Amino acid sequence: MTNTIEILLAEDEEHIAKLVAFKLSKEGFAVTIARNGQEAIDRLREKPWKLFILDVMMPYKDGWQVLREIQASPELKAIPILMLTAKTYQKDMANAAELGATQFLKKPFDPTELATTVRRMTGAPQ
């Protein structure tokens, strides 16, 4: 039995995925990377993740399609979602909130800000 907080990251840009995994693992989180939207949906169903970090622009299924699938799934819709997006237009933020996104972080982001946000969203000690 472990107390490690497990996080699923859906991000196709490998340099961002590696950096997020590096930073959050240094903070004590266990990060699993999904490289596209479909893989993210498949991984989400594997276990009860504490947090789902979701990039908007991805191949196969983009972040919006993933959000809609999560909303339509009773077993997934309660998971907290942190959306990573290069564009935070008000209309997009409103759409994402309606689709169940809990929080936004604008790309490019400061890794320290990301870690702070993740700690807050997961209830990990600050």
Partner 1 sequence: MDWVSDPELKAMLDEFVASLPVRREKLSKLRKELMASQGPRQREAADEICRVSHALAGTAETYGFPLLTRISGALDDYLSESDEARSEPCPAARIAEFTGFLVEALGLAERGSDPAGLVKDPRFQALMDAAPGEPTSGA
Give contact residues for partner 1 (rule: CB under 8 A): 13, 15-16, 18-19, 22, 57, 84-90, 93, 103-112
To the nearest whole angstrom, how small is the minimum distance from the Cβ of residue 18 to partner 1?
6
Using CA atoms, how far residue 48 sits from 39, 56, 59, in Å, is: 16, 22, 24
Is 15 or 45 the residue whose CB approaches partner 1 more closely? Answer: 15
**Least distance from partner 1 to the Cβ atom of residue 91, Å:** 10
How far, in Å, CA of 42 to CA of 37, rounded? 9
Nearest of 100, 11, 96 to residue 58 by alpha carbon: 11
Give min distance, CB of 20 to partner 1, in A: 9
Shortest Cβ distance from residue 58 to partner 1 (Å)? 10
Q: To which residue do tokens 């699993």 refer? A: 32
The residue (of 75 and 110) whose beta carbon lies closer to partner 1 is: 110
Residue 14's CB is within 10 A of a number of other CB atoms, namely 10
Q: Looking at beta carbons only, is 12 or 76 nearer to partner 1?
A: 12
Tokens 């800000």 belong to residue: 113
